[in-house]
């Protein structure tokens, strides 16, 4: 039954005045329909109102009404057992403006229905508010929004507010938006969606036939928990050009909690907590996921068909997976886009922290006690990773043209705290402390053949302490495997991967004379600059008594050290260690 009323029609209608009992036994469908026929403001006193889902494609329908107010006071509208005609929504609105639904519980009783329908469905409309409601056991979706004529943007619902709504046990999605101009979802919970894919808490899902998609969606202070599919998924048409296909044009998601989503076999593909699959201008500011024993998939994933994603204030804690292969943050590639990530915190997880296969700027990452398969892996070109602290974590592997700056790795549990495999990269201000046993290495430089070699790189400002359990032990600080460091710029390394030392007991050097010795210097090339140090022990230096020391690379892997005496008398130095460091 559909209502069409003038915009100035307002009246307060108590459904019990029309014979509704609210006793949970009597079928109140006819009585409530009679009340609907006489007013657009319906009041439901306390009680359970049993309704018949088999009466048509909408139990209660409202069309082209300006000013609908449905108010409940501890009132539940519950569907009887039945076939549930497909599309027989409990409440159905078409092109209604100024709609307010508040204080109602709607129980669609999906376990006792064979058909499918939504708790509340909106086609079109403007200024729509659903607040302080509980929507239970929808055979399809708890809430559903779409344009009344999808080919026309003017028919898309606008100025939608969903506030303090609890949606539990829907079959397909807790809340679906196929098309909308603006929708704001706040202070709401989306839990236990199960039974039919995608089984998401919220699904922003423009179809091919909805060319204008979703213009703006704002989601804040919401809980997503126990949904078979993703907690929240932003998807759309499969085509690659978002300027010509129905996508979500803007998303702002803030201060939301995600737990235990994507864990049931009813969904055919592996899901996780939040999936930004397709869209433009997608912003996440305030994401918390914690306390999951077995993560179903990647926790927060950014797909390849996303343009301009900004993620900040991300928190991951106490997350596990049986084979350690899932990831807290997974960023897929996009040819023409930079994704930005700032302020990410993760601790006590046995899954990988970050996988990035896209151009991106990631800064402000703080990780501790992460025991997943990897710590951070960078495989996308032009990735910037900056201001990172890792404590008792697996290491960083970079196979792409990346920039790593201000990185601190302490007590790494990886065989390689930092693995350098990509060309055209910059590594600056890297501190690595206490890499553990002698079988672990601070920096491993090796080839990622056949795709790249380590060339045209800048290594500037490495400080490695207690590597492999040995103070500044060069063989534990760096491993250079199957590559040459020729063609890279290397300086300010403590210790240096281009250093060598030997014992020298020079004879007396007469005034104006010089003496020379050679030192093996692996990976050094003619033309490299050299710095020399003379010492009696690792902690005690040696006075040169006015002698001048200099060195040069005289052949591959060999440096010649010279002492020249410009003083007026002979000088005889004690036997000591001479160390040479090459600078590329």
| pLDDT tens readout for residues 539-582 | 788 999 999 999 999 998 899 999 999 998 999 999 999 989 88
Q: Where is pLDDT greater, at 255 or 490? A: 255
pLDDT of 487: 60
Cα–Cα distance for residue pair 48/69, rounded to 1 Å: 19
pLDDT of 521: 84
Q: Where is pLDDT greater, at 67 or 441? A: 67
pLDDT of 463: 82
Helix, strand, coil percent content, the chain, rounded in steps of 5: 5, 55, 40
Most confident of 46-50, 56-60, 294-298: 46-50
Q: What is the pLDDT of residues 496-537, one digit of tens each?
A: 777 888 999 999 999 999 999 999 987 788 888 888 999 998
Token reading at 355: 């996988």
Low-confidence winner among 22-26, 294-298, 506-510 (lowest mean pLDDT): 294-298
Evaluate whether residue 286 is within a structural domain. Answer: yes
Three-point CA angle 256, 260, 262, nearest 5°: 105
H or E stretch covering 475: helix 474-477
Domain end among 260, 277, 293: 293
Mean pLDDT across 398-420: 89
With a cut of 90, say whether residue 40 has pLDDT above it: no
- Phi, psi for residue 175 in degrees, rounded to 5: -140, 130
Q: Which residues contact 222 (CB under 8 A, 6 or more apart)?
A: 185, 186, 187, 188, 189, 190, 202, 256, 257
Evaluate whether residue 276 is within a structural domain. Answer: yes
* Same-domain status, 493 and 510: no
Mean pLDDT across 350-357: 94
pLDDT of 267: 53
pLDDT of 269: 55
Q: What is the pLDDT of residues 77-90, one digit of tens each?
A: 999 887 666 667 89
331 pLDDT band, cuts 50/70/90, is: very high
Token reading at 534: 């003379």
3 state DSSP class of 346: strand
- Enumerate helices (H) and strands (E) in the chain, giving the number of each: 2, 44
Residue 220 has a CB neighbour count (10 Å cut-off) of: 16
Evaluate whether residue 369 is within a structural domain. Answer: no
3 state DSSP class of 92: strand
Evaluate whether residue 509 is within a structural domain. Answer: yes
Q: Which domain holds residue 451?
A: 395-497
* Same-domain status, 481 and 573: no
3 state DSSP class of 19: coil
Residue 158 has a CB neighbour count (10 Å cut-off) of: 20
Mean pLDDT across 343-370: 95
With a cut of 50, say whether residue 253 has pLDDT above it: yes
Low-confidence winner among 38-42, 303-307, 431-435, 439-443 (lowest mean pLDDT): 439-443
Mean pLDDT across 291-314: 91
* Same-domain status, 526 and 483: no
Evaluate whether residue 450 is within a structural domain. Answer: yes
Evaluate whether residue 243 is within a structural domain. Answer: yes
364 pLDDT band, cuts 50/70/90, is: very high
Q: What is the pLDDT of residues 451-504, one digit of tens each?
A: 556 777 888 888 877 654 333 344 446 656 555 566 666 666 666 777 888 999
- Phi, psi for residue 307 in degrees, rounded to 5: -110, 130
Burial label for 561, CB within 10 Å (0-12, 13-18, 19+), is buried
Residue 549 has a CB neighbour count (10 Å cut-off) of: 16
H or E stretch covering 532: strand 529-537
Evaluate whether residue 29 is within a structural domain. Answer: no
Mean pLDDT across 350-356: 94
Domain end among 454, 470, 497: 497
As for how many domains the chain has, the answer is 3
Domain end among 445, 478, 497: 497
Burial label for 190, CB within 10 Å (0-12, 13-18, 19+), is buried
CA-based radius of gyration for the chain: 34
3 state DSSP class of 461: strand
* Same-domain status, 429 and 510: no
Cα–Cα distance for residue pair 548/544, rounded to 1 Å: 8
Q: Where is pLDDT greater, at 54 or 72? A: 72
Low-confidence winner among 247-261, 407-421, 548-562 (lowest mean pLDDT): 407-421
The rounded percent of the chain whose pLDDT value lies above 70 is 85
Cα–Cα distance for residue pair 300/307, rounded to 1 Å: 16
Evaluate whether residue 69 is within a structural domain. Answer: no
Considering the chain, what is the average pLDDT of its residues? Answer: 86
With a cut of 90, say whether residue 274 has pLDDT above it: yes
With a cut of 50, say whether residue 4 has pLDDT above it: no
* Same-domain status, 459 and 545: no
User: End-to-end CA distance of the chain, in Å?
Assistant: 82
268 pLDDT band, cuts 50/70/90, is: very low
pLDDT of 475: 47
Residue 23 has a CB neighbour count (10 Å cut-off) of: 11
With a cut of 50, say whether residue 6 has pLDDT above it: no
Whether residue 446 has a cis bond before it, omega within 30° of 0: no
H or E stretch covering 37: helix 29-38
* Same-domain status, 444 and 418: yes
* Same-domain status, 268 and 287: yes
* Same-domain status, 154 and 252: yes
Max Cα–Cα distance, the chain, nearest Å? 121
CATH number at residue 275: 2.160.20.10
Residue 254 has a CB neighbour count (10 Å cut-off) of: 17
* Same-domain status, 246 and 159: yes
* Same-domain status, 462 and 481: yes
* Same-domain status, 165 and 264: yes
Residue 335 has a CB neighbour count (10 Å cut-off) of: 8
Low-confidence winner among 172-186, 228-242, 493-507, 548-562 (lowest mean pLDDT): 228-242
* Same-domain status, 288 and 218: yes
DSSP 125-155: -EEEEEEEEEEE--SSEEEEEE-SSTT-GGG
207 pLDDT band, cuts 50/70/90, is: confident
pLDDT of 301: 94
Token reading at 545: 């008594």
């Amino acid at each position: 039954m559909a209502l069409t009323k003038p915009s100035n029609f307002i009246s307060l209608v108590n459904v019990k005045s029309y014979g509704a009992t609210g006793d949970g036994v009597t079928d109140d469908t006819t009585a409530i329909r009679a009340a609907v026929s006489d007013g657009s403001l319906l009041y439901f006193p306390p009680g359970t109102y049993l309704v018949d889902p088999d009466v048509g494609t909408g139990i209660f329908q409202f069309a082209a009404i300006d000013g609908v107010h449905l108010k409940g006071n501890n009132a539940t509208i519950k569907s009887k057992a039945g076939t549930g005609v497909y599309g027989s929504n409990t409440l159905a609105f078409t092109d209604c403006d100024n709609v307010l639904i508040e204080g109602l519980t709607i129980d669609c009783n999906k376990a006792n229905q064979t058909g499918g329908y939504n708790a509340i469905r909106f086609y079109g409309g403007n200024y729509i508010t659903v607040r302080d409601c509980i929507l239970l056991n929808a055979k399809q979706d708890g809430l559903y929004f779409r344009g009344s004529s999808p080919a026309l943007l003017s028919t898309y619902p606008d100025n939608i507010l969903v506030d303090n709504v609890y949606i539990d046990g829907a079959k397909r999605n807790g809340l679906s938006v196929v098309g909308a101009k603006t929708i704001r979802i706040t202070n709401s919970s989306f839990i236990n969606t199960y039974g039919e894919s995608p089984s998401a808490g919220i699904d922003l899902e423009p179809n091919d036939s909805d060319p204008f998609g979703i213009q703006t969606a704002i989601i804040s202070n919401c809980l997503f928990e126990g949904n078979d599919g993703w907690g929240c998924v932003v998807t759309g048409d499969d085509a690659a050009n978002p300027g010509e296909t129905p996508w979500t044009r803007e998303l702002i998601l803030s201060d939301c909690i995600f737990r235990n989503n994507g864990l049931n076999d009813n969904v055919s593909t592996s899901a996780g907590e939040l999936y930004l699959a397709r869209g433009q201008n997608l912003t996440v500011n305030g994401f918390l996921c914690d306390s999951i024993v077995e993560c179903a998939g990647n926790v927060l994933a950014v797909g390849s068909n996303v343009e301009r994603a900004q993620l900040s204030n991300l928190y991951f804690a106490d997350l596990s997976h049986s084979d350690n292969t899932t990831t807290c943050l997974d960023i897929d590639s996009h040819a023409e886009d930079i994704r930005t990530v700032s302020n990410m915190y993760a601790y006590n997880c046995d899954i990988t922290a970050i996988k990035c296969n896209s151009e991106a700027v990631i800064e402000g990452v703080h990780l501790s006690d992460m025991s997943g398969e990897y710590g951070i892996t960078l495989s996308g070109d032009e990735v910037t990773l900056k201001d990172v602290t890792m404590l008792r974590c697996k290491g960083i592997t970079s196979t792409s043209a990346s920039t790593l700056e201000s990185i601190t790795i302490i007590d790494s549990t990886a065989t390689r705290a930092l693995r350098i495999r990509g060309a055209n990269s910059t590594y600056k201000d890297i501190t690595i402390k206490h890499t553990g046993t002698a079988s672990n290495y601070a920096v491993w430089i090796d080839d990622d053949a056949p795709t790249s070699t380590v060339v045209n790189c800048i290594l500037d400002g490495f400080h490695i302490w207690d590597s492999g359990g040995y103070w500044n032990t060069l063989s534990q600080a760096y491993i250079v495997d199957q590559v040459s460091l020729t063609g890279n710029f290397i300086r300010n390394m403590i210790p240096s991967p281009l250093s060598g030392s030997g014992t020298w007991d020079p004879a007396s050097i007469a005034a104006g004379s010089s003496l020379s010795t050679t030192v093996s210097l692996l990976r050094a090339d003619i033309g490299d600059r050299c710095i020399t140090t003379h010492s009696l022990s690792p902690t005690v230096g040696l006075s040169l008594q006015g002698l001048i020391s200099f060195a040069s690379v005289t052949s591959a892997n060999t440096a010649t050290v010279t002492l020249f005496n410009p003083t007026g008398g002979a000088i005889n130095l004690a036997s000591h260690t001479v160390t040479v460091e090459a600078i590329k």
